[in-house]
Structure 1
């Protein structure tokens, strides 16, 4: 009974995820810790010369094989107001071998400036690959009324397509106020992915297309004093008829010249609260968050909590050329 319950829950989540009217893209609670996925205009949005970020999310731990979403990105700043980046991410879901892999090359231009105010515009080009393994299916005809579940029988259905690759594109823009010495520095952005609206690989006969993912994000950094700042932030994401709203804040406290401590939380409306803690040491930052699910689906699933960890390396030259502090959220 427990097995059937978990299998039914997994099928419900997958059906919801791949339907044309629902959100199909993975998402992170630490969305600012993985900025190239959030908005291609954030490529090169660093106080340094290059950045490498690794992210890992484990979701729906109550399922025997929980969803896992690892990602890695890298971006570099040039001296031509242009930054370049790459982003790879793969979501692996459950026991049927379902995976959703994305790979993008990104580019941003940050030469639009009005004093300390700056606008960055970016674009992304890449591919989407979604696949599953039919040999791992567990269907009703594998159930023997006398001996119970028997994987050696049934499973004879032939599927026309189990994998597909499609071209994809995205654009974005970001504004930030880098004025030094202000109490509050504002930032905000908008991005759109799946501009090509590729056809759904598993619903091709019904001409279903992947809906665009539209994202708005922003906030401000409030400088309490030289050693403490608070950064409230908001996120609104819409894909098809599905939407996600998040609000949160984090505090950044300087411990010494080499170390900052970060503490905060995000609230995903009608879903989860995500406490967050991070340490910024020299050129490295590591952060951990844990989603405490509060939705009705979480109550049905049992252990529906989610865990994320991110690691970022920011490389800098020995002598910093730009004396103006770059205002960029780290969460």
Structure 2
């Protein structure tokens, strides 16, 4: 069947990139709003608390054998000097470990730009820097040239046409971002918006032989939304995301609702739509400073025709902690939840 071959070539192209894209693009997340340091370094420490730890896991194209698996974890903290600090780690593997993309960043955000009554209108700016490591494992790597039409499968006795100039590469990387949000407590509508750019150093993409001069493109992101308080127990947060990296674009729009069940527990539910790609329903709950979220991407693109059940699953867990008991009469409104 040609369908099996198409699936294989599709996964291979996603790992290697193509001459049209000319460089690798980053993983994406449907629950981008719960993974702040991946989204924008200006979100470092933008929390109603003293520190935060977030973990996220994405399994993409689960119906395709050995698709993409991407775990990530971040931690950030607030200081008393208008400087917030954070660290972020992410690792993506594909094709059963044939491809690996690991990165680690430190981030810092300045939070002293405040205006309006009581300084609740805030602008933060952030910087991030770290290393990225990309690696191919030739022992687990096959190409479309090894597809045997008669056997309708891979034939490892057929030589590969692709030649990798090297199997691994490490490079320094940097990014920057800015964020505005209205942190006024007790308000009907609190808006937020941000912009970020990652891979400002544009590391070389050295893997394909003859690919001199190819670089990892800058990932530009614009994001925003508004928390609308419908009552003391119900709020809704519409949100928008636009990302561009090289020739790849992502546009996403959606909303989630937050229903207060008790002083310690909230329920969350909603959905995002990634244009020309997938719809992603989301459910979650908040309890005693923990937020658990689950989403499932239902593919709506042409990929679904080729791959069938080419869907993706995400789960996230966030803990926000405080060094001492909170004494504010009304909560600080964070731009994320």
TM-score (norm 2): 0.91
1:126 and 2:130 correspond: yes
Question: Equivalent residues in 2 for 1:260-299 (5 A)?
Answer: 260-299=266-305
2:202 is matched with 197
Equivalent pair of 1:119/1:175 in contact (CA under 8 Å)? yes
The gaps in structure 2 that reach 5 residues or longer are none
Question: Cα 1:330–1:260, aligned 2, differ >3 Å: closer, same or farther?
Answer: farther
RMSD: 2.4
Equivalent pair of 1:137/1:155 in contact (CA under 8 Å)? no
TM-score (norm 1): 0.92
User: Offset at 1:62?
Assistant: 2.2
Equivalent pair of 1:63/1:94 in contact (CA under 8 Å)? no
1:105 and 2:109 correspond: no
1:309 is matched with 315
SS in 2 for 1:84: strand
1:14 is matched with 15
Question: Cα 1:325–1:9, aligned 2, differ >3 Å: closer, same or farther?
Answer: same
1:88 and 2:93 correspond: no
Partner Cα separation in structure 2 for residue 111 and residue 215 of structure 1: 23
Question: Cα 1:23–1:272, aligned 2, differ >3 Å: closer, same or farther?
Answer: farther
Partner Cα separation in structure 1 for residue 7 and residue 248 of structure 2: 24
User: Offset at 1:146?
Assistant: 8.5
Equivalent pair of 1:22/1:242 in contact (CA under 8 Å)? no
Equivalent pair of 1:142/1:154 in contact (CA under 8 Å)? no
Equivalent pair of 2:15/2:99 in contact (CA under 8 Å)? no
User: Offset at 1:201?
Assistant: 2.5
User: Offset at 1:14?
Assistant: 2.7
Cα deviation 1:101-157 (Å, max 9, x = unaligned): 111000101011112101111000001111111111234458596897553664597
SS in 2 for 1:52: strand
The gaps in structure 1 that reach 5 residues or longer are none
Question: Cα 1:146–1:319, aligned 2, differ >3 Å: closer, same or farther?
Answer: closer
Question: Cα 1:16–1:318, aligned 2, differ >3 Å: closer, same or farther?
Answer: same
Question: Cα 1:80–1:158, aligned 2, differ >3 Å: closer, same or farther?
Answer: same
Cα deviation 1:80-100 (Å, max 9, x = unaligned): 111111000011112461011
Equivalent pair of 1:73/1:85 in contact (CA under 8 Å)? yes
SS in 2 for 1:206: coil
2:172 is matched with 167
SS in 2 for 1:170: strand
Question: Cα 1:255–1:23, aligned 2, differ >3 Å: closer, same or farther?
Answer: farther
User: Offset at 1:18?
Assistant: 8.4
User: Offset at 1:179?
Assistant: 1.5
Partner Cα separation in structure 2 for residue 18 and residue 106 of structure 1: 33
Partner Cα separation in structure 2 for residue 235 and residue 322 of structure 1: 32
